[in-house]
């Protein structure tokens, strides 16, 4: 149980006892959680900060310096109602630090506890937040920063979707204007009926939307095109091919944004890992120019993001490091939350997390 994502409910069913009773037995008697030494150990890395005359505690449930290595990852994770910072070893998959905060000022207070381990880190993968940028520079001074590819591609795809959403919102606005005009006419007609002593019969609003060759209206076309914009053309179904043809004909900006997205994704492919960095940057500069000529606000905003973080983004092409292990750990933590009946007993949850995600594997 200590080093497995075992579910006490399953064990309770096998033993034919109530799941709640099995969970309490394990927590109070079998796990060692209630031992005084364990309780003291759990809070030894917490940090107390004095603010406005009051004491605030920064919880650090996990801090295992032996889990630091040359290649580390940093990410955030919501546990219960609180956001946590998770620092993990990309080579071993072990969590080195779990801190109950996202504030850079709080995280900096934890750095002295790393001893000299922070100097041994050679690469750190992270998202583009200013908090993790500042903290990583302070904690891992010898590390090369690598922007997480997942977050970059997500921002790219979101930019393309924003173009589609802009047109959909415009279509909704047109329908709303028609509806508002209809309501105004109905009110005027109701007043006239009352004045003339006639019976007022309320009419139903009808909006005649244009239908395309695939029998979809403008709103349906824009709503149902969401997923095809995530895919490469070769992965489209026959229905999506027909829909894309109509979509790109009616909305050239969506087509252009999609084409720019494909070019960036081709540039960011793992096939380019190890290529000359000057060539990598040259191709990216050409893409910048294409985005500028396209004059699409959403893509221009994404280009600005890439420009600001270009050195960290292109660092991916040196060895192909990503933050995949951090995302994997986040998924495992989420599953851990599910099988441990949520986080109702937060202290016990941290105890189990430390045993599973941070403690060394026991030899059998």
Segment 226-240 mean pLDDT: 96
* Per-residue pLDDT at 36: 86
Confidence class of residue 46 from pLDDT cuts 50, 70 and 90? Answer: very high
* Per-residue pLDDT at 361: 56
* Per-residue pLDDT at 3: 54
- More confident of the two residues 222 and 18: 222
Confidence class of residue 227 from pLDDT cuts 50, 70 and 90? Answer: very high
Q: What is the pLDDT of residues 58-101, one digit of tens each?
A: 999 999 999 999 999 999 999 888 999 999 999 999 999 999 99
Q: What is the pLDDT of residues 258-284, one digit of tens each?
A: 999 999 999 999 999 999 999 999 999
Q: Flag whether pLDDT at 8 surpasses 80.
A: no
* Per-residue pLDDT at 5: 58
Q: What is the pLDDT of residues 160-206, one digit of tens each?
A: 999 999 999 999 999 999 999 999 999 999 999 998 888 888 899 98
Confidence class of residue 364 from pLDDT cuts 50, 70 and 90? Answer: very low
| CATH code for the part of the protein at 8-148+322-358 | 3.30.420.10
Cα(134)–Cα(232) distance, rounded to whole angstroms? 36
**Among residues 153, 182, 173, which one has the least CA distance to residue 222?**
173
Q: Which is it for strands 82-89 and 47-51: parallel, antiparallel or unpaired? A: unpaired
Helices 346-353 and 324-339, interaxial angle, to 10°?
A: 130
Phi-psi region of 80 (alpha: psi -120 to 50; beta: other; left: phi over 0): left
Cα(193)–Cα(204) distance, rounded to whole angstroms? 17
pLDDT above 70 covers a percentage of the chain that reads: 93
Cα-flanking dihedrals φ and ψ of residue 58, to 5°? -95, 110
Segment 119-140 mean pLDDT: 93
* Lowest mean per-residue pLDDT among 9-18, 23-32, 109-118, 239-248: 9-18
* Per-residue pLDDT at 9: 62
* Per-residue pLDDT at 341: 63
Q: Which helix (H) or strand (E) holds 311?
A: helix 310-314
DSSP letters, 228-259, are: GGTS-GGG--HHHHHHHHHHHHH-HHHHHHHH
Q: Flag whether pLDDT at 294 surpasses 70.
A: yes
Confidence class of residue 207 from pLDDT cuts 50, 70 and 90? Answer: confident
Segment 305-324 mean pLDDT: 94
The residues spanned by each domain of the chain are: 8-148+322-358, 150-319
């Amino acid at each position: 149980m200590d080093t497995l994502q075992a579910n006490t409910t399953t064990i309770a069913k096998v033993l034919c006892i109530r799941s709640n009773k099995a969970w309490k037995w394990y927590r109070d008697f079998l796990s060692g959680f209630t031992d005084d030494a364990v309780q003291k150990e759990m809070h030894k890395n917490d940090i107390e900060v004095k603010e406005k005359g009051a004491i605030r505690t920064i919880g650090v449930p996990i801090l295992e310096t032996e889990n630091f290595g040359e290649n580390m990852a940093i990410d955030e994770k919501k546990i219960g109602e609180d956001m946590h910072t998770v620092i993990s070893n990309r080579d071993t998959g072990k969590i080195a630090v779990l801190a109950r905060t996202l504030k850079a000022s709080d995280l900096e207070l934890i750095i002295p506890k790393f001893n000299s381990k922070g100097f041994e880190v050679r690469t750190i993968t992270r998202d583009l937040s200013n908090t993790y940028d500042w903290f990583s520079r302070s904690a891992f001074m010898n590390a090369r920063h690598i922007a997480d590819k997942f977050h970059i591609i997500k921002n790219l795809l979101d930019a393309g979707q924003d173009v589609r959403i802009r047109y959909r919102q415009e279509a909704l606005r047109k329908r709303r204007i028609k509806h508002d005009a209809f309501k105004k006419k109905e009110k005027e007609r109701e007043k006239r009926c009352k004045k003339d002593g006639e019976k007022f019969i309320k009419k139903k609003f009808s909006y005649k939307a244009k239908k395309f060759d695939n029998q979809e209206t403008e709103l349906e076309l824009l709503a149902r095109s969401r997923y095809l914009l995530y895919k490469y053309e070769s992965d489209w179904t026959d229905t999506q091919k027909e829909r894309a043809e109509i979509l790109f004909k009616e909305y050239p900006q969506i087509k252009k944004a999609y084409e720019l997205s494909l070019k960036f994704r081709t540039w960011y492919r793992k096939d380019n890992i190890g290529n000359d960095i000057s060539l990598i940057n040259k191709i990216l500069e050409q893409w910048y120019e294409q985005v500028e000529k396209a004059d699409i606000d959403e893509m221009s905003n994404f280009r600005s993001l890439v420009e600001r973080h270009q050195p960290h983004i292109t660092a991916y092409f040196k060895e192909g490091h990503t933050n995949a292990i951090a995302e994997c750990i986040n998924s495992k933590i989420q599953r851990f939350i599910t099988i441990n009946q949520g986080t109702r007993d937060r202290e016990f949850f941290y105890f189990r997390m430390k045993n599973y995600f941070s403690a060394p594997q026991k030899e059998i």
